[in-house]
């Protein structure tokens, strides 16, 4: 498996900014973590993707800084279209949807860029959103999205024929979206394989924070994908908040400190009747019964152990990576550390103040020791 960290944590949306972030952050993170080579899961916003796809010179400039800093590009995060560091992101991150032509055009540009920048002999992956936020979504939009993924399959097939490089797109289920769970994406993709969507080029991104929030079983989720004839293309290494007793006053006070205006923090409560949803943490605190444990979509640094009674779901992360490591094509699965929430962590403020280089380096060391080493040993 190929380990990288996702650069969507850095607020750069033009070429000059991305080059600066690779030099100032990624290169120093690699050195601080003691890695000879570091993978980066590059976030390329739409405006920059248009520029890079049209300019061999600009792609060469990006290639040169990657090589100079000891970085390799195997995967791109094409979920946020742009504005991922606006003051308020929330539901805007799901736009444009896969029913809109702009989403397909953007994704194909990212694929073209990645094919050109991949290391020799490697495959590439691109993670994307699970169609859209669940509402509004109708049959006409679903039909448009199906056609878009069929066109994407054809575009990726032609890209391979033209360049000799394989780039796959990984759909990432997320709580609250049209494709909320692994079961949703397996059912949706499985029903459309005869409608032009090619499982060789379109598969699944398993975000382990999202997986944990849904209270899914990691082994069962990976098996479900495999048994459906689909591919795990990418695993996003992330950890959710876990709260055993949401009625506990100390736990509620701690959770309140994670309420913030920028990102959406979906919550799920496990109950005897099933999983009870809330679309954001403030809503959960006001409306969920709190009779069973909660999991919160708030990406917590992998190495971080929060003060009791809060916990994280690194056990779900480790179990998922272990199962993915057993797949017959495990050497083509990309493992991307995606903690984009450094700037909104309670009592941390600006990422510069918390030492984001040290923080991400510590995450990568943790990942090498707790994720990569056990997989290699097996």
| Model pTM above 0.85 | yes
Q: Is residue 255 in a domain?
A: no
Q: Is residue 288 in a domain?
A: no
Mean pLDDT lowest among 63-72, 166-175, 352-361: 352-361
Q: Is residue 256 in a domain?
A: no
Q: Produce one character per residue of 123-151: b if its CB has 16 or more CB atoms within 10 Å, e if not.
A: bbbbbbbbbbbeeebeeebbebbbbbbbe
Q: What is the pLDDT of residues 203-220, one digit of tens each?
A: 999 999 999 999 999 999
Provide the domain count of the chain: 1
Residue 319 pLDDT level (bands cut at 50, 70, 90): very high
User: Chain-wide mean pLDDT for the chain?
Assistant: 96
Residue-number span of the structural domain to which 7 is assigned: 2-239+313-377
With CA atoms as reference, report the closest residue to 273 among 248, 291, 285: 291
Indicate the SS3 state at residue 267. Answer: strand
Q: Is residue 301 in a domain?
A: no
Q: Is residue 184 in a domain?
A: yes
Q: Is residue 264 in a domain?
A: no
Residue 375 to residue 234: CA distance in whole angstroms: 15
Q: What is the pLDDT of residues 126-170, one digit of tens each?
A: 999 999 999 999 999 999 999 999 999 999 999 999 999 999 999
The CATH number for 54's domain is 3.20.20.150
Q: Is residue 252 in a domain?
A: no
């Amino acid at each position: 498996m190929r380990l990288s960290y996702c650069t969507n944590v850095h607020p750069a949306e033009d070429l000059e900014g991305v080059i600066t972030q690779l030099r100032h952050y990624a290169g120093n993170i690699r050195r601080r973590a003691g890695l000879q080579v570091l993978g980066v899961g590059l976030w390329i916003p739409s405006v920059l993707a248009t520029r890079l796809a049209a300019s061999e010179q600009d792609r060469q400039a990006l290639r040169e800084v990657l090589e100079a800093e000891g970085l390799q590009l195997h995967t791109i995060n094409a979920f946020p279209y742009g504005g991922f560091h606006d003051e308020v992101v929330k539901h805007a991150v799901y736009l444009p949807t896969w029913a809109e032509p702009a989403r397909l055009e953007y994704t194909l540009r990212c694929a073209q860029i990645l094919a050109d920048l991949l290391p020799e002999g490697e495959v590439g992956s691109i993670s994307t959103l699970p169609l859209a936020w669940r509402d509004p979504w109708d049959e006409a939009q679903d039909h448009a999205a199906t056609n878009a993924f069929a066109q994407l399959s054809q575009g990726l097939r032609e890209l391979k024929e033209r360049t000799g490089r394989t780039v796959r797109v990984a759909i990432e289920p997320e709580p609250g979206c049209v494709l909320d769970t692994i079961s949703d994406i397996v059912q949706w993709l499985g029903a459309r394989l005869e409608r032009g969507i090619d499982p060789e080029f379109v598969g699944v991104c398993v975000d382990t924070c999202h997986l944990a929030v849904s209270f899914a079983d990691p082994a069962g989720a990976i098996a479900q994908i495999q048994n459906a004839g689909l591919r795990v293309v990418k695993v996003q290494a992330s950890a959710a908040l876990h709260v055993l007793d949401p009625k506990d006053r100390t736990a509620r006070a701690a959770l309140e400190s994670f309420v913030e205006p920028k990102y959406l923090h979906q919550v799920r409560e496990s109950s005897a009747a099933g999983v009870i949803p809330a679309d954001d943490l403030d809503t959960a605190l006001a409306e969920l019964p709190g009779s069973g444990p909660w999991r919160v979509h708030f990406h917590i640094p992998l190495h971080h152990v929060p003060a009791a009674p809060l916990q994280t779901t690194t056990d779900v992360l480790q179990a998922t990576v272990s199962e993915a490591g057993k797949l017959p094509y495990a050497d083509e699965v990309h493992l991307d550390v995606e903690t984009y929430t450094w700037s909104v962590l309670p009592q941390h403020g600006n990422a510069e103040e918390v030492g984001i280089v040290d923080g991400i380096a510590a995450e990568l060391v943790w990942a090498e020791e707790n994720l990569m080493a056990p997989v290699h040993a097996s």
